[in-house]
Every structure is written in structure tokens, then in C-alpha cells.
């Protein structure tokens, strides 16, 4: 079993739709949870960064963490064609040089 599981998609939705992206994980030591966005032929860029359980909102993006279920989500409201990219969840432990563990990535296309 992989430490982090993410549905690879692809996911295709119309412009303006609400998008839900999800990851599950098995390592209860993970404390920091991130979402990266990766455009084609580019490196990943940090989108959201959350610590422990709860919600965090930034503009059209909301990140949710449910540590009891080992489940994290990213919601995109009023989706735009420019949101078309691969979304990677990533997580790491609390102390020291804990390496980031990435999900497989979900390829998202927003259709005009």
C-alpha cells in the first residue's frame, strides 16, 4: 500500500464548476499537508499549506484536512480554464528533516 493515494483522473469539468480533489494517507505521523499545482512541463508550485486538521481558505481555493479519517481535500470554486493542471497532494511529519511524500497527482481540465 502506498503511503499517499490520489486518484489520477483525468478529471474534466465545465468552467464555473466546483472541483473536489482528494487524497488519503496511511501514515498517522503526517502533520503538514500541502497541495501543489503543476502545469505541463513546469515544476510544481505550492498552492495551499495546512497544519493538522481543519480548513484553510485562500480565494477560490479551500483545503480541508481530516486526520481522524486520514483524508485531505482541495476544493476549487468558480473554476477557470487557467486552473487546468495536475494537482499534487504532499505531506510530511512534524520534526526534523522529514521528507515530503507526494500523491500521484490528479490531472484536471476546465472546459470553457
Partner 1 sequence: EAGVAQSPRYKIIEKRQSVAFWCNPISGHATLYWYQQILGQGPKLLIQFQNNGVVDDSQLPKDRFSAERLKGVDSTLKIQPAKLEDSAVYLCASSLESGRDRDTQYFGPGTRLTVL
Distance of CA 80 to CAs 47, 64, 111, Å? 15, 21, 8
If you count them, how many residues does the chain have? 112
Nearer residue to partner 1 within complex by CB, 1 or 14: 1
Nearer to partner 1, 42 or 77 (CB): 42
Q: Smallest distance from the beta carbon of 99 to partner 1, in angstroms? A: 5
Q: Give the whole-angstrom CA distance, residue 36 versus residue 16.
A: 21
Handedness of CA 7, 77, 64, 84 (dihedral sign): positive
Instruction: Provide the CA 43 distance to its chain's centre, in angstroms.
Output: 15
Binding site for partner 1 (CB under 8 A): 4, 6, 8, 32, 36, 41-46, 49, 51, 88, 90, 95-100, 102-105
Nearest residue (CB) to partner 1, 32 versus 75 = 32
Residues 6+ apart with CB under 8 A from 83: 19, 76, 108, 110
Residue 63 Cβ, how far from partner 1 at the closest point, in Å? 14
- Least distance from partner 1 to the Cβ atom of residue 25, Å: 12
Nearer to partner 1, 29 or 100 (CB): 100
Amino acid at each position: 500500500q502506498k503511503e499517499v493515494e490520489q486518484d489520477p483522473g483525468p478529471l474534466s469539468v465545465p468552467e464555473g464548476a466546483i472541483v473536489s480533489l482528494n487524497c488519503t494517507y496511511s501514515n498517522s505521523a503526517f502533520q503538514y499537508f500541502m497541495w501543489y499545482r503543476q502545469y505541463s512541463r513546469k515544476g510544481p508550485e505550492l498552492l495551499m499549506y495546512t497544519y493538522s486538521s481543519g480548513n484553510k481558505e485562500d480565494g477560490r481555493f479551500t483545503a480541508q484536512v481530516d486526520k481522524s479519517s486520514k483524508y485531505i481535500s482541495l476544493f476549487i470554486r468558480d473554476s477557470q480554464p487557467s486552473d487546468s493542471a495536475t494537482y499534487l497532494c504532499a505531506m510530511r511529519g512534524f520534526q526534523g528533516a522529514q521528507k515530503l511524500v507526494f500523491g500521484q497527482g490528479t490531472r484536471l481540465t476546465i472546459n470553457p
